[in-house]
Structure 1
Amino acid sequence: MRVLRGFIPALLLLGIAIVVRWIPDSLTQVMAGDTAEPPEAAGQVYELVPGSVYDGDTLRVTNGRGDLKIRLCGIDAPEIEQALGIAARDHLRSLLAQGNGSLLLVPVEQDRYGRTVAEIFVPLAGQAEEIHLNTQMVLDGYAYHYAQYSDACPNGRLLARAEEQAQAQQRGIWGDENAVPPWDYRQRHRTAVDEVLWSAR
């Protein structure tokens, strides 16, 4: 990775795709040898837009020519108003802060809100490895595996296993018996708003 990092500017100028392989120390034991890998069409180098981590699964990135709003593929973190919502946002910020300043983005698709759904790898400062944000957020108990939407994620297979580990060790959301998955929270919130609007007619 150190050798590749030294050639990144030259590779970008030549328009050559960058392929990054990730062998995470923090996940090696729990994933039984599986590692998160970007697909053959590879990571694009971006930087975090300062102050843009809105919650535990959404942020903005820039490549100097334009910004993208990113939704992390295959995960769903508690909403800010929920228990652990702020903690999830802050945990994502702390993972990003461990990086060397660049982010490797693997775009998957666009969602209905115009966000780029993606996997993100954070090259660690001074080390030859990266954090796979999607998997790490689930493994640390600050996001759920969003199984309904993880099939398109290149490393979606790891998310269910990361969640099993987090649940077994009661990390984060799994340590709160009253935790409500964010998709259920959003549905209830929408229903409550609809009821208020209907009764006001």
Structure 2
Amino acid sequence: MRRDRIAELSRLATGLAVYILCSCFAQAEILSGRVVKIADGDTLTVLDKSNRQHKIRLIGIDAPERKQPFGTVSRQNLADLVFGKEVAVEWHKQDRYQRVLGKVLLNGQDVNLKQIKAGLAWHYTQYDKDLRLADKRLYAEAQKAADLKGIGLWSDPSPVAPWDFRHNKPAPAVADEGCEIRLPGFRYKIDPVICGICRNALKSVSTLPGFMELVRLATRPGSDEAN
């Protein structure tokens, strides 16, 4: 009897999980149409077959504001990706501004993710609860990769997140923004003391010939003995 009871509870739990999962997918809707306007790097307008316009806020990402560095670049990149093209928007709900919150798909590819990969949007973790777990992981990994490569907004030593910019929060403090070397797939921190010495030396050299002379003097044979 006990085993039968456990088996029955197990079936009920499985059934409940399946029901919840199906309910979640049932709530998802697909909006199809042509992109007719790009507001910024995470907002666009879709015209459906009934000639009705829908303002779409790309879910799970936050692009630089127009007055921020890379704001215009982010908007242009989104335009290059989807403007004038037919897209599908996978969505669950609208925000308080009546914008559709959704994932924009172009030929089945996630446009939201492409913005992050290009280094032109943040993974907006504060508002990604409606994303699938797999998408959350992809967005987080894409941001880390873009940051590591130093592409797009990540080429700035201390980029300001849009949500901080909107609240006039300052950029995070950095010990020495010049003490870092970034190459594709590579990042190396330089000791601040060494970095400071190099910076002070370079400040005194205003021309290329002067710089070359500095290098020659520093590397000539016997320079150590002279000191």
Equivalent residue for 2:142, pick from 145, 158, 162: 162
Residue aligning to 1:61: 46
CA deviation vs aligned residue, 1:154-176 (integer Å, no higher than 9, x gap): 32331111111111111111111
CA deviation vs aligned residue, 1:58-99 (integer Å, no higher than 9, x gap): 0100113211100000000000010000000001011115x8
Amino acid at match of 1:166: A
TM-score, with length taken from structure 1? 0.65
Residue aligning to 1:152: 130
Aligned residues of 1:137 and 1:143 also touching (Cα < 8 A): yes
Separation (CA, whole Å) in 2 of partners of 1:171 and 1:109: 32
What stretches of structure 2 of length at least 5 have no aligned partner?
A: 1-24, 170-227
Amino acid at match of 1:64: K
Aligned with 1:188: secondary structure?
coil
**How far did 1:102 drift?**
1.2
State the identity %: 35
Aligned residues of 1:108 and 1:153 also touching (Cα < 8 A): no
Which structure 2 residues correspond to residues 120-199 of structure 1 after superposition, within 5 A?
120-123=104-107, 130-154=108-132, 155-188=135-168
Structure number with the bigger relative contact order (C-alpha 8 A, sep ≥ 6) is 1
Judging changes above 3 Å, is the alpha-carbon distance between structure 1 residues 131 and 115 closer, same or farther for their aligned structure 2 residues? Answer: same
What stretches of structure 1 of length at least 5 have no aligned partner?
A: 1-38, 124-129, 190-201
Equivalent pairs, count: 141
Structure with the bigger percentage of helix: 2
**How far did 1:42 drift?**
5.6
Residue aligning to 1:75: 61
Amino acid at match of 1:55: D
Which structure 2 residues correspond to residues 72-111 of structure 1 after superposition, within 5 A?
72-97=58-83, 101-111=85-95
Separation (CA, whole Å) in 2 of partners of 1:75 and 1:188: 19
